[in-house]
Structure 1
Amino acid sequence: MYPCIEIKPGGILHNLKILKNKCAENGMSLSVVTKMLVGYEPLVRFLVEEGEITAICDSRVENFMEFVDIKAEKWLIRSPMLSQARDVVRFTDVSLNSEIEVIRALNEEAKKQSKRHKVILMYECGDLRDGCYTEELKEIAGEVLGMTNIDLYGVGTNLSCVNEVLPSEKNMQLFEAAVNAVESDYGIKLPIVSGGASSSLKMLFDGKLPRVINNMRMGESVFLGNIPVFDVPFDGAREDNFILKAEIIELKEKPGIPEMLPQDCKKLMKRAIVAIGKQDIYLPGLICADSRMKIVGGSSDHVVLDVSDCGNDYKVGSVVDFKMTYNCLLNAMTSKYVEKNIIK
């Protein structure tokens, strides 16, 4: 059935092993961000078992409900909502937090469930998404250390998600100083210092991340083989692990300019329409696998292609292959109208 995504787990596993080895060389563990899989349990289970993943990260508690039997530490990487404290404690082991009110609620819920829950406090490193500055970070850490059912698991930071602020020696030094401040003020050694996501990969490969960092959270680089923001593959990466396939439902020669009649055109454009649209994908992130094609435009349910240079290679019913950027793949994986097929 089309549209569908063909998923190549072997290529993903290949990327995972490269990144795990690179992290290990630098004294770091790798927590794999699986949110782009949208709770697709068969692939997450495969990666945990074959890739020997010890921690999986997702931004939605609902996805962890699909992973109950998967043996890996489960990290909620979007700050929990107060309204979901019960499910956070029930279905996850670790959550990333920046609000003490939420952590208090998690502590109360953990008491009710007779469980312990771990928190990683987020430091604001300049991208202006989630996180605290140093003084608030220390205050929250102090209160957490006195809680009955919450463990202070570590400190983390996040970059390049909202304002595309890249990891740099300057902001990483600020992060290191904040971690040192928490540890020295309370005489503790934090189990986890999570220094960022796939956007930190360049600094990791260049050996420029502070030694205090002992964990990385990566998803995009594992699945797509690229370094975000720079939009280049890392050495040895496999980039074709997700291929979107869509079927042609119309193939006609039409003017290249709206409202123009065919008889008024010197040259008509051979246009193909495929049965997928903005309801399923992020159109600017859709890339034709056949370089002779061009994307002309699209609507909620259609994508229009210029196939003038493709000869007679395509007809109604033909299937067109597309590569996808991270945002496009995230949308396609989320759409219930796009089938997911694992290619073994």
Structure 2
Amino acid sequence: MTYPKLLVKRDIVLKNVKALKKLTSENGVGVLYGVTKVFCADPELAQIYVEGGVDGLADSRIQNLKKLQNFDIDKILLRLPQHSEVDQVVRYADISLNSEISTLRKLNEAAGKAGCRHKVILMVDLGDLREGFFQEEDFYQAVEEVLKMDHLILEGIGTNLTCYGAVIPKPHILKRLDDYKQGVKDRFGYDLKIVSGGNSSSVYLLGKEKLPSINNLRLGETLIRGTESSYGQQLPGTNSKGWVLQAQIIEIKEKPSVPVEETGLDAFGHEPVFVDRGVRKRALIALGKQDIVNESLNPVDKDIIVLGGSSDHTILDISDCQKDYQVGDIVDFTLDYVGVLMTCTSEYVDVEII
């Protein structure tokens, strides 16, 4: 057995996906994209999404979409394409999200050379200030140009909220997508197939508010942990305990809780703050910030305190634990979404599906 190890409980993840597919379908969202970037598009984990009923697999990176080519399902590039990768985009993605006319022109050219037609979703910025057309006329100019292109298909429009500006999706905000959809219909006589209303932060509205003409969501956290990301609430019929990180204790010593000499900056250039609890029993585990940030670690043993760490070590206070931990013992942690993403990305953490 090697550690650290991320245990993925297949049945829990599958149950989450099925629950979200049911919830979205019952509320008019007929197209569900499962975001695979959190687990680096591992095909075995992507298969769980497909079994659960997702309508497409979405990822931010071409490297990950390459892993998904054996799935007979739409593949979607979430991050705006780079000019340098347009040839790969039209090869490995059926659909891409876009907000730059220059990139759309290059995609059209690349699709022409590849002898295919590539679908695009135009992104609009509704105030979160990351990607998307901010001025309406810029959006409509892009629509006009795309509709004239021979090798692109205007599949729909979309938006993204909460990822940068933390703007919470509200019905009056999302209704602007209705206005854009109708604007395309009025100006160009063209019906958009997809109206993508965001990510896991929009899920809290399902069953409470009627989402305008939104028929698509791009979900990662909600499928992984069963939580919506606007308020962090657990959704009915889901479970957040499907991902458990295990790490091994490599040292146990009683030491002061405050350094004994003058302190400066730590290994990451920060000035640490310490709480003086006196002499405490401390355990080192073979896991560090190169694998995961301390804030994402939630010990299953609630008597453990995560004190901090460095690149390769995490320091735990085990003084109050009922269990008599020994060197070589394994400590379990549940993870938030960022924790799952980081550990799946780290080549030093083994992933085991059980």
TM-score (norm 2): 0.92
Please identify, of 292-301 and 51-60, the stretch whose mean Cα deviation from structure 2 is larger: 51-60
| AA of the residue aligned to 2:340 | L
2: distance between equivalents of 1:53 and 1:226? 17
Q: Could you tell me which residue of structure 1 aligns to residue 292 of structure 2?
A: 281
Residues 68-217 of structure 1: pairs in structure 2 closer than 5 A = 68-133=69-134, 134-210=136-212, 212-217=213-218
Q: Percent identity?
A: 42
Segments ≥4 residues shifted beyond 4 Å: none
> Counterpart of 1:284 in structure 2: which amino acid?
E
CA contact (8 A) 2:16 2:226 kept: yes
The one of 298, 305, 318 equivalent to 2:316 is 305
The range that moved more, 201-210 or 212-221, is 201-210
5+ residue gaps, structure 1, are none
The answer on whether the counterparts of 2:34 and 2:49 sit within 8 Å (CA) in structure 1 is no
Question: Matched residues in 1 for 2:48 and 2:173: separation?
Answer: 36
Q: Are the aligned partners of 2:161 and 2:167 in contact in 1 as well (CA < 8 Å)?
A: yes
Q: Tell me, yes or no, if structure 1 residue 341 matches structure 2 residue 349.
A: no
2:338 corresponds to 1:327: yes
Q: Please, what TM-score do these two structures have when normalized by structure 1? A: 0.95
- 1:308 aligns to what SS in structure 2? coil
Structure 2 residues not aligned, in runs of 5+: 262-275
CA offset at residue 235 of structure 1? 1.5
Report the equivalent of 2:24: 23
Write out per-residue CA displacement over residues 197-243 of structure 1, whole angstroms, 9 at most, x where no aligned residue: 10001112313321x11111111000011111312211221111110
**Aligned length, in residue pairs:** 337
2:7 aligns to what?
Answer: 6
- Distance in 1 between residues matched to 2:292 and 2:277, nearest whole Å: 34
CA distance in 1, matches of 2:323, 2:133: 59
Q: Post-superposition shift, 1:12?
A: 1.1
For residues 146-190 of structure 1, what are the alpha-carbon distances to aligned partners after superposition, in whole Å with 9 as ceiling and x for unaligned?
Answer: 100100000001100001100012211222212221222111111
- Tell me which residue corresponds to 2:222: 221
Q: CA RMSD in A?
A: 1.4
Structure 1 Cα separation of the partners of residues 277 and 317 of structure 2: 16
In the alignment, the residues of structure 1 paired with residue 73 and residue 20 of structure 2 have an alpha-carbon distance, to the nearest angstrom, of: 18
For 1:256-284, what per-residue CA distance to the aligned partner results, in whole angstroms no more than 9, with x for missing partners? 11117xxxx99520101100000000221
Q: Say which is worse superposed, 80-89 or 310-319, in terms of deviation.
A: 310-319
User: How big is the shift at 1:312?
Assistant: 4.3
Q: Which residue of 1 aligns with 2:60?
A: 59
